[in-house]
Amino acid sequence: MGFDEIYKSYSSKIFRVCLGYFNDYDLAKDITQETFISVWQNLAKFENRSSIGTWIYRIATNKCLRRIQKENSHPTVELPTNLKYVAPSFEEDEKLSRLHQYISELPELERIIITLSLEDVSQEKIAEIIGISHANIRVKLHRIKAKLTKKFEENGQF
């Protein structure tokens, strides 16, 4: 699989994962671009120990986590307490917008787990990407879905 095919297959998925982490359209675009620069630079070194998708998701999540760590260790401004969802340029329906907003309010690990799940990444692959057991992923996904459902119910949307 050539780089062009890889980019076409995974760029929108990686963008959505990054958007789930930061809820910031421009930052998600930047991290997606950084991810594919790394993929381009390291494609020849890819050893097929995992699927190409798992490898790319791992690169993206590592870049997201490093950015979060960097921001936490060097805060430049006080973070706002009421972050609003920044909608992508294409129109989404209200429920999907709410879902993205609620996901962005989750703790980091829960955000990546649910975002990967929404991208149809298997639970086994999510466990491999995150580095925890498959059983733990199942439990966490159940709890995350319960949290999100509760948020919808609290806001009269279910």
Which domain does 73 fall in, by range?
3-154
57-71 burial, b at 16+ Cβ within 10 Å, e below that, comes to bbbbbebbeebeeee
Mean pLDDT is highest, among 7-11, 63-67, 80-84, for 7-11
List, for residues 112-139, the tens digit of each pLDDT value: 888 888 888 888 888 888 888 999 999 9
Give the model's pLDDT for residue 157. Answer: 63
Q: Which residues contact 73 (CB under 8 A, 6 or more apart)?
A: none
List, for residues 29-67, the tens digit of each pLDDT value: 999 999 999 999 988 888 777 788 888 988 998 888 888
CATH number at residue 109: 1.20.140
Q: Which residues contact 135 (CB under 8 A, 6 or more apart)?
A: none
Give the model's pLDDT for residue 77. Answer: 47
Query: What is the C-alpha separation between 14 and 116, in angstroms, rounded?
Result: 9
Q: How many domains would you assign to the chain? A: 1
Res 75 pLDDT > 70:
no
DSSP 87: -
This prediction has a pTM of 0.58
Res 89 pLDDT > 50:
no
